[in-house]
Structure 1
Amino acid sequence: MMTKTTVMLIEDDIRASYTLESTINQHPDFTVVAASESCADALLHYEAYKPSLIFVDITLPDGNGIDVIRQLREQHADCDFIMTTAERETATVEKAVQLGVADYLVKPIRMSRVNQALEDYKQYKQTLSRATTVDQNDIDQLFRKAPVKQLRQTPKGIDATTLASLKSILRNEKLHDFSADDIGERMNVSRITARRYLEFLESEGMIRLVLNYKTGGRPRRLYQMVE
């Protein structure tokens, strides 16, 4: 059985941290072992848990996530980093690239984008572990320079006709804060099927996921149209 990649979160927004942790833990190959809300906590938690991958927010109560990465790099920490931030300035992105972050996720983060980052990281580590040397094609893939493969119009499990029907419903009914159950009833499909199509549209940027915490328990997954 493959050992899961250990992950640490550095995020001072409790809701964002919970959502990110929940998404990562749903992936079969990753597990969150620690969550920090400040730079100081992050450095202590790293020493305690030695995670392989760290999701880092930039704006923190006691400093800057970029500085946390720099300090851990100087300590020769054996881990990789993914930025999760609302910062879009090129200077900030450039600093992150210079520090060798594996990915850069802009808030509000789509959960489908988190899963993509995890899959990319998994592929990156698998490529490095397969052999002691790599060829040019392997290197191109690691640096994302490989030619983009021609993709199907819709991925496996997404029927083009059903997808078009869903898009029509969303545009014509102008739904707001709708769930997979709502869509399932309108399309006469199961909640699981409806959720698969909604997650696809989320990855395409047509809708966004919002979590309703006013449930008294686990947050309810709702969706909104992106204007």
Structure 2
Amino acid sequence: MIKVLIVEDDPMVAQINKKYTESVGEFKVIGVCTNGEEALEKIKNDEIDLIILDIYMPKLDGIELLKKMRIQTSMINVIMVTAAQDTDKLNEVLTLGAVDYLIKPFEYERFKEALERVRMRYELLNKKNIMSQNDIDKITNQSKLNLQIELPKGLNRRTLERIRSFMKDHVDKYYTNEEIAKNLKLSRVTIRRYMEYMESSGEIMCDIEYGAIGRPSSRYIYKV
């Protein structure tokens, strides 16, 4: 279980972040703080794996909290969720070791992606003694899964995310275009286009199944 602390002075935003966080497997919100000073005390007394942190807060803002955490050698993962868009703040936050930076208002899928990267990082660093280059690339966001890459014409990011999420949730099983289309209520032609794109980007593997009768069938599985 990945223990999460939300630090946000807007109660409505805090509740949305809590709901989003706990909708993703293995994450549990153990507290909500409305300012940096309150959060600093919580960090001292409780075991926390991840902080969802705003910048603009009373008493002690998000950047000052992050600075104090690093001075105290606290290596808790931090996802910054804020309205701040200026380059100097972004640079400072990333330099202080934030693993991701989301600008309000953000889409749920982008928030989910940030959490999934943290989960991947957590699992790799806690379950492996030796890391491959591929593992390191995943942690440092240099893998081919980076969603900021421009999509080919005709592909929709939200549709891609629906298909990607389905494949991630079934990493131990091969699926045909027809099976994916049925599960997601999309056309087989649409699924085929997205699967071809995901295969070309290295996200999925394709296996050709030859039956006794008829055309061979393509089956896909998500790369872990």
Q: TM-score, normalised by structure 2?
A: 0.65
Q: Is the contact between residue 117 and residue 139 of structure 2 (CA under 8 Å) also seen in structure 1?
A: no
1:161-214: CA deviation from partner (whole Å, max 9, x where unpaired): 59x9xxxxxxxxxxxxxxxxxxxxxxxxxxxxxxxxxxxxxxxxxxxxxxxxxx
Q: Is the contact between residue 82 and residue 105 of structure 1 (CA under 8 Å) also seen in structure 2?
A: yes
AA paired with 1:71?
Answer: K
Distance 2:100 2:86 in 1: 16
Offset of residue 26 of structure 1 = 2.3
Q: Is the contact between residue 21 and residue 32 of structure 1 (CA under 8 Å) also seen in structure 2?
A: yes
Q: Is the contact between residue 36 and residue 62 of structure 2 (CA under 8 Å) also seen in structure 1?
A: yes
Structure 1 residues 10 and 124, CA gap change in structure 2 (3 angstroms): same
Q: Is the contact between residue 33 and residue 49 of structure 1 (CA under 8 Å) also seen in structure 2?
A: no
> Which residue is 1:111 aligned to?
108
Distance 2:132 2:24 in 1: 30
Aligned equivalent of 1:128, options 125, 128, 136: 125
Distance 2:36 2:137 in 1: 34
AA paired with 1:142?
Answer: I
1:112-148: CA deviation from partner (whole Å, max 9, x where unpaired): 2221111111111222233222122222222122235
Secondary structure of 1:147's match?
coil
Distance 1:25 1:140 in 2: 26
RMSD: 2.5
> Which residue is 2:218 aligned to?
none
> Are 2:140 and 1:143 equivalent residues in the alignment?
yes
Q: Counterparts in 2 of 1:17-96, with a 5 A limit?
A: 17-96=14-93
Runs of 4+ in 1 over 6 A off after TM superposition: 149-153
Distance 2:57 2:67 in 1: 15
Distance 2:16 2:143 in 1: 32
Structure 1 residues 148 and 32, CA gap change in structure 2 (3 angstroms): closer
Identity of aligned residues (%): 24
Structure 1 residues 148 and 28, CA gap change in structure 2 (3 angstroms): closer
Secondary structure of 1:32's match?
strand
Distance 1:117 1:135 in 2: 22
Secondary structure of 2:22's match?
helix
Distance 1:35 1:98 in 2: 25
Structure 1 residues 27 and 141, CA gap change in structure 2 (3 angstroms): closer
Offset of residue 105 of structure 1 = 0.8
Aligned equivalent of 1:10, options 3, 7, 20: 7
After superposing the two structures, state which structure 1 stretch, 151-160 or 60-69, moved more: 151-160
| Structure 1: gaps spanning 5 or more residues | 165-227
Distance 2:84 2:54 in 1: 9
> Which residue is 2:184 aligned to?
158
Secondary structure of 2:51's match?
strand
Distance 2:48 2:126 in 1: 18
Structure 1 residues 17 and 144, CA gap change in structure 2 (3 angstroms): same
Offset of residue 71 of structure 1 = 0.3
Secondary structure of 1:77's match?
coil
